[in-house]
Amino acid sequence: MSAALAYAANALGATSQGPQIWGWHGRTLSHHAHHPQHGMCWLRLVSVPEHKAGGKLWEGTDRAHTAFPTVRKPALHALHDHARDGHAYRTELTAYVDEPVLSPDPVLRHELDLTDAWFTTIRSTLSTIAATPTDRTAVRQEWISRAVPEYTGRPAPLIQYWECAHGDFHTANLTRGATLLDWEGWGQAPRGYDIAMLYAYAQLAPETAARIHSEFAPLLRSDAGRAALLVVCAELLQSAARGDHPELTPKLRALVDDCATRTVSTR
């Protein structure tokens, strides 16, 4: 992957700078870079077996570039695709966002002092995303029907309201300036899915979690919001069962119990 990233950087006319940054489970590799036309940029390489090239995750950033022109996100300058030794590589050259992310990984482990302006921007971002028509899918009812009982022990909700979602909405993908990163997985999801994910991942920082809940209380307290939270808990508990963020599991179980005390439609 290092060789593939260097090859793509050269093809795109960019010069890599600084240390390499590995993504989740080594599926992506990123680098600061300088481009003679665009200045400071970000190079991100995605690797998949060659026969799996294409599809939702492969084209997510590219399609988001045109689908959400007004949302705060890194501008996409160029793409480069190539294959080598049985693997396909897509490299994205995007604008460098000179804003720190809110946390180094999805699980928020420290309290945040987020401003009213930050929440105003995030609310606008989520509204714009939710109102965007798309044929992409982030979460499927078939998965919900199978995973919610398996990982939460609760009946699966039959989702009544579906909206477009970012699909990976957590503090490692959000900056202090309310820029939203990592657009590969966006698509249709239960209404409230994004804010439910942000809230669930923030449970180890209770003051920040309480602020998130307060800001989005009408949604999170609705039947649709509680159904979305149950779906997110199932997703994160599934991930925990594979070894990711086990320390979050007790908090997720508590959220599941809270959802169970309220009405969540299973019709």
HEC per residue, 158-190: CCCCEEEECCCCCCCCEECCCCECCCCCCEEEE
**Residue 267, pLDDT score:** 39
> Residue 207's CB: how many other CB atoms inside 10 A?
11
Residue 39, pLDDT above cutoff 50: yes
Amino acid letter, residue 211? R
Residues of the chain above pLDDT 70, percent = 98
Residues of the chain above pLDDT 90, percent = 86
Ramachandran angles phi, psi of 23, nearest 5°:
-95, -170
Q: Which residues pair with 33 in a beta bridge?
A: 16, 41
- Mean pLDDT along residues 20-29: 84
Confidence (pTM): 0.93
Tens digit of pLDDT for each residue in 220-266?
A: 999 999 999 999 999 999 999 999 999 999 999 999 999 877 654 44
Residues near 204 by beta carbon (within 8 Å), at least 6 away in sequence: 107, 108, 109, 247, 248, 251
Tens digit of pLDDT for each residue in 75-134?
A: 999 999 999 989 999 999 999 999 999 999 999 999 999 999 999 999 999 999 999 999
Q: In what order do the strands lie in the sheet with 39-49?
A: 15-22, 28-35, 39-49, 87-95, 76-84
